Amino acid sequence: MSFTHLDDRGQARMVDVTAKQPTIRSATASGTVRCGPDVVRALRDGAVPKGDVLAVARIAGIAAAKRTPELLPLAHVIGVHGAAVDLEVTDDGVVISATVRTADRTGVEMEALTAVAVAGLAVVDMVKGLDKSVSLADVRLERKTGGKSGDWVRAE
């Protein structure tokens, strides 16, 4: 078995995508910040003492998508040509969805996942003073398009 991120001596390496042609690619990821009813109420009422939680989380997620290669050492530096982070307050907390797009040589799955994770952490940071039991859960890829492996959609 060969591993794409190991060289012939078993050492970590970044996969060389130089010869690949840029193509349009996108990825959508999701996650949830689980919150109790008091936090949900404060979010809905705009009464979180630190300010506009959803706006801060949205910007944090977009910024994170663009900085993914700084956090994941084998991720490629690619052009993030579009990034949208959506947050919805539900009865159980905040549902986060991020879609990232590029026209580059490799996909944006990690950028979408990073956007969701950091947006979720921003929500946690903003509300932890109200309830320390909030948690970030279920960060996962929902779909991707483009690239050599083609399109993929989560079955559930």
Residue numbers annotated as active site: 125
At 54, give phi and psi (nearest 5°). -65, -40
Contact 62, 83 (CB under 8 A): yes
Give the whole-angstrom CA distance, residue 77 versus residue 109: 13
Q: Is 75 annotated as a binding residue?
A: yes
Judge whether 76 is annotated as a binding position. Answer: yes
5 annotated as ligand-binding: no
74 is in an annotated binding site: yes
Q: Report the binding-site residues for substrate.
A: 74-76, 110-111
